[in-house]
Every structure is written in C-alpha cells, then in structure tokens.
Amino acid sequence: MKTLLAVVLAVLCATAADARSPFDQTWYDGRAELDGYRLVVSRYGENRNATAVMIFVTEPFSRSQHVKLDDANANPSDTFTALKLNLVRDFQTGIYDYNTMVSLFVRAQSMEPVKLAFSSMEWCGQVYSEMIFGKKEIRGTYASYFEGESGPIMMGRPPAGVTEDELFIALRGLHEDYLAPGASTVVPYLPGVFYARLSHHRLEWTQATVARATQDESITVPAGTFDTMRHDVHIADGRNGVFHIESAYPHRIIKWSLPPDVGGELTGSTRLEYWKLHGEGDQKYLMELGLPVPE
C-alpha cells in the first residue's frame, strides 16, 4: 500500500511539474544562464576583437528601492520577481582597454523594463548611468568623468516604446514569440546606452522597424550549429541590426550584430549558480562558456 501511495504521489508531482510553463521550469530552477560570445566592436574607426558575457537570472526586486532584495519575504507588498540581464563587454583599444556593463531588469511575468544601468571604465575615465522606468516617463542620472556630460535624465516613455538594450530579452520570446514568422512592427525606439556612450550621442527616442524572417535559418557559430529565428532591426538613425535567436527554448541569442557591435557569436553556454563559484580554481568554468581561462 505504501509503495502504491508513493508511486501515485510521484506521478502527481511529475504531472504538476510538467504543467508548469517552460518559463517557470527554466527560470525558477535557482540557477543563471551564462552565455559567452566572441565579439567584434567598432571603436575609433577600427574593428576590435572583444569578448562578451550575457548573464540571465531571476531574483527578487524592490518596487520602491529599485534594487535586489536580500529577503524577499520581509516586505511582500514591495517585492516582485525580476529577470535580470547583465551584458559585459571587454575589448582593447591600443594601449588601453574598455570594460563595460549593461544591467537591465524587467518584470519576469510581463517582460516590462523597470531599470537600466550602465557603466564604462577605460584609462581616460569612467561613466555611470541609471534609468528608472515609470508608466509614462524615464528618469535617472548620468555621471561622467568627461565635461558637459553629467546631469539628470528625464524623458517621456511613448506607448509600446522599445529600448535597444531590451531587444536582448524581448526578441527571445521567453513567454511568447515577439513576432510571428514573416511579421514586422514599427515601434518608438530608444538607442542603447552602450551605443550612446561610444558615439557620444544623447539618448533620444527615434523609430525602428523590427521584422522576423518567414523561415528559420541554420547557422554555425563556435558553440555549434543551431536552427534560429532571424530578426532584422532597421533604425531611423541609419543603423541596421540582425539577431539570430535559437528556435528551441530557451531561445538563446546565438548571433547578433547591431553597431557598434559588428558581430557577436556564441562560444559556449551553461546554467550555474555562478555567485558561488568565486574560489581559486573556479575559473575553469569559463571553459563552458568558450572563454579563455586565466592562469
């Protein structure tokens, strides 16, 4: 009898797990997705070999403080689950290097952006910006080593507006496809913070057309061969981008180009509790991302 009961409970548990959405099964497993890339960045009129890492993970987030919470149960009414993307780019320009990072937080259920932070460090100086997304406006601050760049950020937020950095999450269609095959859309578009930094352009809304190819494409990158959903992005500022998104869930970004990123290709991917891997010798896990392992 006990054996039969155990079997029934196991079946019920398995059925309940299977009933969860692909998003819930993937993004609430207590791990982060880590993706390594071989990247080429255009800087000072030359193409620079670079590496990039994308880190996707869910975490509890504070509505009022706009930060990750240490204790999600301390104030439930102020807490929601965010999906975070940290996009790190490292590249050399002659004698000195660039280290940049974009942190984007979206609501895990709606994919609505709530916070965007950016930092850039190189031998001349450093900059930092933070943008908080309200229903109708974006506000924040920009702090720069360079004259005439620091100050508050305040701009409207048009309905259905899309930020460039948001594309790295939105086009993955983690809940549902961003576009159906062969479909396209014209949206208000805010250029990326990385592009704005390197081009020294102020962030202002423009317009972009995003289109998905009719059929999937098979492409080969250092991490292997993948069937992908191709999305083309045509921006009113004259830049054009292409994103190849893995057809199978979780729809990783396999390859992309969007100036100043001339081209990024997946070198490796894994899911890990990376925040625990800070001991001597844990650098070996970089091999799973296809990235160089420091000696």
Residue 13 resides in a domain:
no
Residue 7: inside a domain: no
Instruction: Tell me the pLDDT tens digit for each residue of 245-254.
Output: 999 999 999 9
The pLDDT score that the predictor gives to residue 34 is 98
Percent of the chain with pLDDT over 70: 94
Question: Does 11 score more than 90 pLDDT?
Answer: no
**136-169 residue pLDDT tens:** 999 999 999 999 899 999 999 999 999 999 999 9
Residue 288 φ then ψ, to 5°? -70, -20
Q: What is the dihedral of CA 153, 158, 160, 165, to 10 degrees?
A: -20
- Tell me if 24 is assigned to some domain: yes
Q: Which residues of 205-218 are buried (b: 16+ CB within 10 A; e: fewer)?
A: beebebbbbeebee
Q: Is residue 123 part of a domain?
A: yes
Element (H, E) at 55: strand 46-62
pLDDT at 15: 47
Which pTM value belongs to this model? 0.92
pLDDT at 84 over 70: yes
On whether residue 146 sits in a domain, the answer given is yes
Residue 1 lies in a domain: no
Q: What is the pLDDT of residue 184?
A: 98
Structure tokens at 197: 């930094």
Structural domain span for residue 126? 20-289
* Average per-residue pLDDT for the chain: 93
Residue pointed to by tokens 């423009």: 206
Tell me how many domains the chain contains. 1
- Indicate the pLDDT class of residue 234, thresholds 50, 70 and 90: very high
Predicted confidence (pLDDT) at residue 7 exceeds the cutoff of 50: no
- Per-residue confidence (pLDDT) for residue 209, from 0 to 100: 98
Would 9 be classed as within a structural domain? no
Domain assignment of residue 166, yes or no:
yes
Compute the average pLDDT of residues 94-118. Answer: 97
